[in-house]
Amino acid sequence: MVTVDVVLSKCTGCAHCRDVCPVNVFEMRPKDTFADVTDDPEVAAKFQFRGERSAVINGPDCIMCEACLFECEGECITIVDDEGTLHASTYK
């Protein structure tokens, strides 16, 4: 089973993951609905944090298209595929 994860402290709320995912793995939710989310200072130096964060709601549906991995500003998405290989996001 594919496992998708978001490091919330690095998630800027850009919603790119939600917008590019063909199988609706992500849902944007207000930051204050997550417990104890801080803004990562290294990410904050490069990008503006918005009021939302990305929640993984359908990780097992991921088809490994990798679109979100290239669109994630915070480089905070990781995916472990069926064979246990870790894929980390790199913003392009």
Q: Which of 48, 60, 63, 90 binds ligand SF4 (CB under 6 A)?
A: 63
Query: Should residue 49 be labelled a site residue for ligand SF4 when binding is judged by CB under 6 A?
Result: no
Q: Strands 52-56 and 26-30: what pairing?
A: antiparallel
Q: In angstroms, give the least distance from the CB of 61 to ligand SF4.
A: 7
Q: In angstroms, give the least distance from the CB of 62 to ligand SF4.
A: 3
Q: In angstroms, give the least distance from the CB of 84 to ligand SF4.
A: 16
What CA–CA distance (Å, rounded) separates 8 from 40?
A: 9
**Residue among 68, 67, 54 nearest 10 (CA):** 54
